[in-house]
Amino acid sequence: MEERLQKVLARAGLASRRGAEKLIEDGRVSVNGRVVREMGLKVDPANDAITVDTIVVPKVAAEGKGRRTYLLLNKPKGVLCTVKDDRRRQTVLDLVPPFQGKRLFPVGRLDEDSEGLVLLTNDGDLTQRLTHPSFGVGKTYDVRVKGKLTTEDAKKFEAGVWLSEGRTARSRIQVRRSGPKITHVAVTLTEGKNRELRRAFAKLGFPVMSIKRIQIGPIVSRGLKPGQFRPLDSDEIKALKELAETGAEGRVRPVRKRSSSEKRPRRSGKPDPAKVHTTKKKWQRNAGGRRNPMTSRNTEEQAETGQRSGRPAKGQAKGRTKTTGRKKPGGGSARGGSR
């Protein structure tokens, strides 16, 4: 069965889905001896010979029949959350030994100045689902900021903060300890931009002092110290996969498409047209069916006296004012002027 090349590479554990796309763009991937640079190319992992640089992708790994590895690492500060660094700085893969020659990669990112939990795996499908914002998998961070964070400030953060690339997604924030100089909060994000926490809190006037990721979906550290790692147990792997399949809202993804005969659900906050009683304007029309401008809707003042536009009130002579009954200045006609 044919599948997209980047998906096959990610499933084989050579890189994440985005990393596999970068390998293809750089011309480092060959299929049956031909260098491939186009995205979306479909290959047959059981029959096609796939090579990355000089590494031949095993057919067992490409077909997804190889054994999967799932590790939880407590990343210390100063360690890069990446597979390889050109400047030879320490990465998360330097903290774990190779497992039976399988290539692991981190699920998502955690910046160099932050610490906390990072998932390492060679399961490309799971990685793609856990990192995609549409599934809403929450990641909880322990954050310390300078200043006293009020309830109003917390609500502003939860509603979203405007950054250079757009507004941050909705989040949850819980104030743990609040002092005059330092506030200790727990923040849960479902979609993370580059250094989002630091930039968003700084935008609100609260510089970040430290960030530590303490939970990924249902996974917690269980006493891991910085630099230590442990394999996930079967229950944790099952919970992660269920979360990746259904998302945080508990719906099975992808969502079923609505047929043409089904009605589109009404947006929240808008009135139901079936329950809104509208009053049509009653325009008087002439014999030709057109609106007569001289018989339009009465004003409030005209309604009190029973007068319609262009007609004097009952008992009121032409050329006299409504209040005094005197003639208007300028002549004996209501139109004004002398004849």
Active centre residues (catalytic) = 111
Per the listing, tokens 């700085």 go with 89
**How many angstroms separate the CA atoms of 293 and 272, rounded?**
34
User: Cα–Cα distances in Å, from 30 out to 26, 59, 198?
Assistant: 11, 14, 41
Beta-carbon contacts of 94 under 8 Å, excluding residues fewer than 6 positions away, are 79
**How many angstroms separate the CA atoms of 105 and 10, rounded?**
10
Residue type, 34: R
Please choose, from the candidates 15, 25, 34, the residue with its C-alpha nearest in 3D space to the C-alpha of residue 121: 15
Please choose, from the candidates 55, 48, 109, 49, the residue with its C-alpha nearest in 3D space to the C-alpha of residue 83: 109
